[in-house]
Amino acid sequence: MRDAYHEDLDAISHVLVEMANLVGSAMSRATTALLDADLQLAERVIANDDAVDALYRDTEAKAFEILVRQQPVATDLRQVVTSLRMVADLERMGDLALHVAKVARRRYPASAVPPELRATILQMGHAAEEIVAKAGSVIARRDVDMAFELEKDDDVMDGLHRQLFQAMLAPEWANGVEAAIDIALVGRYYERFADHAVSVARRVVYLVTGERHDAPA
């Protein structure tokens, strides 16, 4: 049986996985809202971000309480401190899903996505969902191999991101400035979402192996 202290650490780890699920679901719905110009869905994503923020605050408070009361050392200390960083990444991912939903709301009843970019945005939405699902598994199972897989998914996201820009800067682009601005920002939200998921995975690798793979850009 585990002691109360390690149960606290496990509880934090569970909340991180739950947050990964929540922000993955938020990004999935935000993508649908964006593609289908579904205002109701966009509003729900926007409203639900409060739940992510609440988990963020609770987890931060709980991690801090563990530091104060239990004075963890070595691996346990590293786990608590790393959790503080991961929870911040996940909270930010929730914000990015919210931003996508806000673009959908701003353009309603139109869709912010021109027909020729629907497939690319859909793929970016899928890539975002998959990468955060994997990040959740990495947290839950401390799966270092899967953490490296995320890096490849992030390359896919970067490739899709480049496709967006190629389409907007091609002579055939006939959707004007407003659509280009929306797509440029939305593209960046997806790309940053994936970056934060990679960052979460790298922190788990650091936790497990003691080796850093998170040279900042």
| DSSP 8-state assignment for residue 117 | G
Q: Which two tokens stand for residue 26?
A: 């938020």
Select 105 or 130, whichever has its Cβ closest to a copy of itself: 105
Select 53 or 129, whichever has its Cβ closest to a copy of itself: 53
Which of 147, 18, 13 is closest to 94 using CA atoms?
18
Please tell me the distance from the alpha carbon of residue 127 to that of residue 130, in angstroms, as a whole number. Answer: 5
Please tell me the distance from the alpha carbon of residue 113 to that of residue 164, in angstroms, as a whole number. Answer: 11
Question: Is residue 176 a contact residue for a copy of itself (CB under 8 A)?
Answer: yes
Please tell me the distance from the alpha carbon of residue 175 to that of residue 109, in angstroms, as a whole number. Answer: 16
Please tell me the distance from the alpha carbon of residue 121 to that of residue 124, in angstroms, as a whole number. Answer: 5
Q: Which two tokens stand for residue 25?
A: 């679901």
Provide the mask over 42-81, with x wherever binding to a copy of itself is found by CB under 8 A and - wherever it is not.
Answer: -------x---x--xx------x--xx--x-xx--xx--x
Q: From the CB of 202, what's the least distance to a copy of itself, in Å?
A: 13
Q: From the CB of 167, what's the least distance to a copy of itself, in Å?
A: 10
Question: Is residue 39 a contact residue for a copy of itself (CB under 8 A)?
Answer: no
Footprint of a copy of itself (CB under 8 A): 49, 53, 56-57, 64, 67-68, 71, 73-74, 77-78, 81, 84-85, 88, 91, 95, 98, 165, 168-169, 173, 176-178, 180-181, 184-185, 188, 212, 215-217
